[in-house]
Amino acid sequence: MIFTTPEFVLFAVLFFGLYPFMRGFGRKAFLLAASYLFYACWDWRFLFLLWSVTGVSFYLARGIDRSESRQKRKVFLGLALGFCLGELFLFKYCDFFIDSANALLGACGLGALSGGLQLVLPVGISFYVFQTLSYVIDVYKKEIRADADLLDFALYVAYFPQLVAGPIERAQSLLPQIQNLDAVYEKRDSSGIGLIALGAFKKAVIADNLALYVDALYDPNIHPYPAGLWIGTLAFAIQIYCDFSGYSDIATGLSRLIGIDLMTNFESPYASLGPNEFWRRWHISLSTWLRDYLYFSLGGSRCSAFKTARNILIVMALAGLWHGAGWNFVLWGVAIGTMQVIARTPPFKGLQTQIDRLPRFAQMPARFLQHLCFLFIILLDWALFRCSSLDHCKAVFKGLFSFNRFNNYLFQEAVAKGNDQRVILLILLCCAGVMLFHCLYRKSSKDLVQTLWKAPLFVKVTVCTLLLFASMLYAPEAPPPFIYFQF
């Protein structure tokens, strides 16, 4: 069930029509039932997977909390990590490693292993597994107490606004709000409507329309050529941001109408001047999760320069693998990690300080040049992310850096699937608008909507109406699912 479809609109109308009349246990039970119904609309069979992760994590966390023996606590933690990560590996990575092993054995002239399991990937499994793991680890570290109410914990895992694509919430923030649903509902915020309207506009008007051309220009069956690939890569950079941040905006907006506040997941990432700043502003819930539970566990930056670089590369490689079971995703993560390591070396570490020391008239051009150089590198990294395989990566990068003249016939063939020959104008307008917004407004969508909500009621109603109307009028007939649903 996609947020921008009529089916979800009906679901939301029924939910918010009944939710205000619920109280206490009934309110929690109703919200949990709605969350399970929302998830079952994708495939009801995967509810059993969601229930198993919920039940095992709940009881093992209780065992950790009750046990005074360090050894028993470790055993319970190991069982929880093994079960949750085991299910994630089975459904998401098993075939990937089997195929990789078969390719390696084939290259060595040895026999292949048996075929993969060909299991369907449960939607949102990476998100709710990571959210559950953070809870169990925090209980083990004695940062929180294990929840004694299975209903509360089940809601923490299955809370429908952020169930299938985040943000990946922490128990310290989300659980207390779930435990006091009646109290938080009294503090619900109508600005959630503005976030829903903004998110729907990003997804339906910008991301979904650009997706038509990105898919065509990145089609592995079409001969790649420079102009089309650069246009497609630039369009994909805007598409993936508007798609994923649009989901986060809608999720946060829905949650605000319930009275629950979710964490900020994006904060103008394309306004960044370097890779470290970009990773802090992009998919914040994942970057902070990896920092707190993996990077710090490896030693973080409190070690030698070599070990720090090693830690960064390990974390970013796993961040790439989290996004998808493919070597192109691993390369994408390693590329960002390599940029972060390079940014820590002496020639680049003090770059910002050096620019700040320039005369005033030279600072703005220097920052603009720095911004352009970084965006160019990020575009190359997004090309890795968008490719479907390593062979596709080779073809795309060969095409990006070839110097063949513009082939108008191939370009028209590529954009024919979009049914609109004005693709260049559409992409350039979208890209220019999004980039200009980021450069001028270096804050999150929450901050933008909060600014709007200070305006008179007429202005708020007009802006939200226009955004929602545009989302219905200009949405494709068959909207694609959110990109991060596949992760």
Q: How far apart are CA 97 and CA 57, in angstroms?
A: 26
Mark whether 323 is an active-site residue: yes
Cβ atoms of 252 and 192 closer than 8 Å: yes
SS3 of residue 142 by DSSP: coil
- 302 — phi, psi (to 5°)? -90, 55
Q: How far apart are CA 248 and CA 104, in angstroms?
A: 39
Which of 169, 80, 94, 79 minimizes the C-alpha distance to 124? Answer: 169
Where b means 16+ CB within 10 Å and e means fewer, 351-377 reads: eeeebeeeeeeeeeeeeeeebeebbeb
Q: How far apart are CA 2 and CA 183, in angstroms?
A: 29
Count Cβ atoms below 10 Å from residue 109 Cβ, excluding itself. Answer: 6
Which of 215, 277, 271 minimizes the C-alpha distance to 243? Answer: 215
- 456 — phi, psi (to 5°)? -60, 155
Q: How far apart are CA 428 and CA 26, in angstroms?
A: 50
* Catalytic option among 323, 371, 392, 438: 323
Count Cβ atoms below 10 Å from residue 158 Cβ, excluding itself. Answer: 24
Alpha helices in 344-456 (DSSP H): 346-349, 351-356, 360-386, 390-400, 408-415, 423-440, 445-452
| Matching residue, tokens 């990077």 | 295
Q: How far apart are CA 389 and CA 216, in angstroms?
A: 16
Side-chain-side CA neighbours of 137 within 13 Å: the count stands at 16
| Matching residue, tokens 């009028």 | 473
Cβ atoms of 286 and 192 closer than 8 Å: no
Q: What DSSP line would sit under 236-290, residue for residue?
A: HHHHHHHHHHHHHHHHHHHHHHHTPPPPP--S-GGG-SSHHHHHHHSSHHHHHHH
Cβ atoms of 136 and 13 closer than 8 Å: no
Cβ atoms of 319 and 290 closer than 8 Å: yes
Which residues are annotated as catalytic? 323
